[in-house]
Structure 1
Amino acid sequence: MRGPHNIWRLIRTGATFERTGAMEAVLNAVDAPMRLRVAARVMGWPFRWLGYKGDPTLPPITRAITALGPAYIKFGQILSTRADVVGPEMAGQLRMLQDRLPPFPTDIAKAAIEAELRAPVDELFSEFSEPVAAASIAQVHRARVRETGREVAVKVVRPGIGPAFQRDIDAFHFGARFIELLSPGARRLRPRDVVRHFEQTVTGEQDLRLEAAAASEFAENTAGDAGFQVPMPHWGLSARRVMTADWAEGLPMGDRDALIAAGHDTQALARRVIQLFLSHALRDGFFHADMHHGNLKVAPNGDIIAYDFGIMGEIDDYTRRVYAQILYGFIQRDYRMVARVHFEAGYVPRDRDEAAFARALRAVGEPIFGADATRISMGNLLSYLFEVTERFGMPTRTELILLQRTMVVVEGVARSIDPNLNIWNAAKPVVSDYIKASVGPKAAVSDLTQVVQTVSRYGPLLPRIVERALWERAHPDEVPDRRPAKRPDWQLWLMGASTLALGLGIGLAI
């Protein structure tokens, strides 16, 4: 329930950070001003005894987050890729949240497998290991299929994860409503919609049948991508709480020293991570939306291996074009173009000054160009971008949340193995190619073809629609009151033109 009782959950969150010592670490990492430090201490210290103790063997921040539950762990996973925002020390502490959380007993995992697949584990697998990785939603075991001898990874959902996650989400919903109540200006950020979107995403992640389907589709889309691998799911050994897929052997993407020692080109890998993500988002509109270090490996031949497809992002053709034009405008340093695209897409209210918005974007973009990553403070950049969105009343676009979040995570992964990476230089070839393919005569012909195909699907209905419209116009007194208002002449002309266009299209095709 999303009621006032969730105040208790939010109080315990602050109390847990205070009790575990994480509060001080967080304030230091973000270089909090004295006013904020005093406020945090005044609000947190009296409730310190209410906080969860956590595992004292863990670093303070990791200890607090793991004690609070899976939703907090997910947030920590995102921050673990942003050493430039939270600092190298905190990022290192948070990185263990990706795949090194405490596992649950193997016997429980086997019981879940037997219940889901309706067969003893020993009949299905000739080998079955202890957990090799454990994250917020599930853990993974290495196994060998008895029938084929193929080595596989078996993923099993944590017991009781659904109710635990829902408790966190309920508190987040309450917190979002509380923020909107106390700060009407924050409503443009649509915190409740953001939480709702997050809830839908993670709820779907708990059904491993959906993950298997996403992996299968993603593998088909990326089959032609050089230097990229997707382990294929085994449908006969997968169910709601269990998923079996090919075993992926490789070095962790987050271990830069190991990659260098193995002879891999970390600069090339960093560029490829950025370019692969953009290709999947722009070309396919279907992308891996959880590409942190723990979900990426580097194969011995240098291929990037992606796995864990519980969170996938999807954007439509129009949004892809808008996003690509915005990126391309930044790359070309054409801030008027970026501003115009924002206004045309409705991302900025029409009553705002487009020229002023372009100048604000220039202040964001110009410091980036000509500078390597070591000279860019992503924390300052994000802070200024937030000021820009607030100044121009830009609402949060929930359809872009996963895209924006993943872009931040992917950049963090790339920069962790190549600190000198310039994201704009890496992105330019992919974005430029997409712009050429999606804007121009070829794209116009493709769009027109899709329009004709859409109209043709409704072809059999068009005569009936036109006939009914004409009859209603001729007999207005016999039409029930519940019908819509009489169609204006332009609608009749449009339907007639659509029918004619369909006929012409079919005639030309014949």
Structure 2
Amino acid sequence: MGLADYARLARAGYVLAREGAFSVVEEKHLPPGARAGVRLARLIERPEIKRTGRVERLTRALNRLGPTYVKFGQTLATRPDVVGADIAGDLSALQDRMTPFDPDLVPDILREALGERADDLTALSAPLAAASIAQVHSAQLKPLRGARAKKVAVKMLRPGIASRFYADIGSFYAAGRFAERLLPATRRLKPTDVVKTLDHSARLELDLRLEAAAISEFAENIKNDEGFVIPEVSWDHTAENVLTTSWVEGIPIRNHAAIDRAGLDRRKLAATLLQNFLRHAIRDGFFHADMHPGNLFVDPRSGDIIAVDFGIMGRINRSERRFLADILYGFITRDYRMVAQRHFDIGYVPETQSVDDFSLAIRSIGEPLHGRTATEISMARVLGQLFAITELFDMQTRPELVLLQKSMVLVEGVARALDPDLDIWTVAEPVVGEWLRREQGPLGKFEDLRESLETLGTAARRVPLLIAEAEIVLADERARKRTQPVLPPALVQAIGWLGAGVLLLAFIRLLFFW
């Protein structure tokens, strides 16, 4: 990490400030320090932005800065309640309407990636969707053994995208370390660890074979679900920079007029989207982490939601899934004490803080949200209040949950656009409640026992290795200090087998007294 990273970071900050990126922030909802930073950034804003209040070139600026900035813009596009309807509308072009790369490059890309298999793809169309990382074409897949030709979607990475991405990430790491060194208050937010989490996720996006594997796993998880479908992978026509899947036909989920003309119920679609996302996250621990409107369609015949682009997937373990379910259910039932306690349990809030005081702060957020429709809630105000609470209670960031939090913002934004009267808590309750009842029942208890036994078994298998390592260490020590008494090997073995006995007793106690 060198001066080039800091130079790119400074350039990005200048471009964003110049194009009015900071004018979309409501200063009154920010802490004093952040408010001062925004005011300082706005000093270099273009005069016409200050005069008219219209941010016209932010989309082009994000596109010019690089793919990771585009990803940020895609998220903002789903939140007109935060950035305003005009800016969100402009930013929506970043989702699938960016400038495609030179079409003359496409045949060589396919030939180099697929070899002779490239000849199976015929009638390749012009780019139908172009985003920050890749673009999509339709094609006909040659029939095999008398079958009919099949329409497929062919996704190709942009040439040179990896180097642009790594340059962006380098500047983000520079920003994180700079903040941690010069602004001690930001250390609780763990900016470097957050960047590392996003870095890992996005690097996976640069290998389309991993995306194909994600589609395969995701399909297994949802095979018995209703209302949510995904395409199938053609593995013979997939490589590191090319992914071929079955073609899906649907109405873009942001085209509300077309959805209405098809006679589909937008309120039902919003509920289906939100419930399926929660089901994937809470039940499976594996979820689509890039659900912006450019990646979502609606089948006009069945009303099913169709998801595409699985380059960014999120994964959370069972304890994190339980945390998410408990938090949501706590807000649904207004059990703010439980919500507060779970934040302490998972390490979001230090033990030095008061659970009662934090419960009161959570209540101040939750109570105004109940009984209100989406149009009556200012997410900018809620986010500002949340940020103030994190600072007041010295809350620590959990980097492994960053993708989940970002995805929930995306999904909620899309659902609110479909149904402005969306009641998030009412829609979430069936999914969250069902999973928690399962966890508290015999099946959930059995899974708890199984996990405990697996942990115990792993520890037991390590006992002989620990004994061997102890003998090696003692032998080395004996060779180095022959004049000093050492523990005899028999005693070392006795200690090791004593440890094994303790583990065995723990196993028996767990098995018969659970």
Structure 1 residues 26-175: aligned runs within 5 Å: 26-32=21-27, 39-43=40-44, 59-119=56-116, 121=118, 123-148=119-144, 149-175=149-175
Counterpart position of 2:327? 326
User: Does residue 6 in structure 1 map to residue 5 in structure 2?
Assistant: yes
- Structure 1: runs of 5 or more not aligned: 47-57, 506-510
- After superposition, the C-alpha distances for 1:54-109 in whole angstroms (9 at most, x for unaligned) are xxxx9411111111111100110111111111111111011110111100122212
TM-score, L = length of structure 2? 0.87
Deviation at 1:171, TM superposition (A): 1.0
Q: Is the 8 A contact 2:471 2:489 kept in 1?
A: no
Cα distance in 1 for residues equivalent to 2:196 and 2:430: 35
SS in 2 for 1:290: coil
Cα distance in 1 for residues equivalent to 2:238 and 2:208: 8
Counterpart position of 1:400? 401
Counterpart position of 2:213? 213
Cα distance in 1 for residues equivalent to 2:402 and 2:211: 20
Structure 1 residues 396-435: aligned runs within 5 Å: 396-435=397-436
Write the letter of the residue equivalent to 1:418.
Answer: D
User: Does residue 495 in structure 1 map to residue 495 in structure 2?
Assistant: no
Q: Is the 8 A contact 2:329 2:433 kept in 1?
A: yes
SS in 1 for 2:231: coil
SS in 1 for 2:233: coil
Write the letter of the residue equivalent to 1:477.
Answer: L
User: Does residue 336 in structure 1 map to residue 344 in structure 2?
Assistant: no
Deviation at 1:44, TM superposition (A): 5.9
- After superposition, the C-alpha distances for 1:169-213 in whole angstroms (9 at most, x for unaligned) are 111111111212221011000001111111111111010000000
Cα distance in 2 for residues equivalent to 1:130 and 1:31: 41
Cα distance in 2 for residues equivalent to 1:124 and 1:130: 17
Q: Is the 8 A contact 2:70 2:132 kept in 1?
A: yes
| Fraction of identical pairs, as percent | 44
Cα distance in 2 for residues equivalent to 1:85 and 1:198: 22
Counterpart position of 1:262? 262
Q: Is the 8 A contact 1:70 1:137 kept in 2?
A: yes
Of stretches 496-505 and 83-92 in structure 1, the one that deviates more from structure 2 is: 496-505
Write the letter of the residue equivalent to 2:79.
Answer: R
Q: Is the 8 A contact 1:101 1:136 kept in 2?
A: yes
Q: Is the 8 A contact 1:97 1:135 kept in 2?
A: yes
- After superposition, the C-alpha distances for 1:425-460 in whole angstroms (9 at most, x for unaligned) are 11111000011011244322232134345656787x
Deviation at 1:486, TM superposition (A): 6.1
- After superposition, the C-alpha distances for 1:461-485 in whole angstroms (9 at most, x for unaligned) are 4885798799999x962459xx999
Cα distance in 1 for residues equivalent to 2:82 and 2:355: 30
Deviation at 1:147, TM superposition (A): 2.7
Cα distance in 1 for residues equivalent to 2:155 and 2:70: 18
After superposition, the Cα gap between the structure-2 partners of 1:479 and 1:395, relative to the gap in structure 1 and judged at 3 Å, is: farther
User: Does residue 271 in structure 1 map to residue 268 in structure 2?
Assistant: no
SS in 1 for 2:94: coil
Of stretches 37-46 and 159-168 in structure 1, the one that deviates more from structure 2 is: 37-46
Write the letter of the residue equivalent to 2:273.
Answer: V
Cα RMSD over matched residues?
Answer: 3.1
Deviation at 1:422, TM superposition (A): 1.2
After superposition, the Cα gap between the structure-2 partners of 1:377 and 1:45, relative to the gap in structure 1 and judged at 3 Å, is: closer
Q: Is the 8 A contact 1:469 1:492 kept in 2?
A: no
Cα distance in 2 for residues equivalent to 1:329 and 1:7: 43
Deviation at 1:146, TM superposition (A): 1.4
After superposition, the Cα gap between the structure-2 partners of 1:348 and 1:479, relative to the gap in structure 1 and judged at 3 Å, is: farther
Cα distance in 2 for residues equivalent to 1:257 and 1:454: 54
Q: Is the 8 A contact 1:456 1:502 kept in 2?
A: no
- Structure 2: runs of 5 or more not aligned: 29-34, 48-54, 475-484
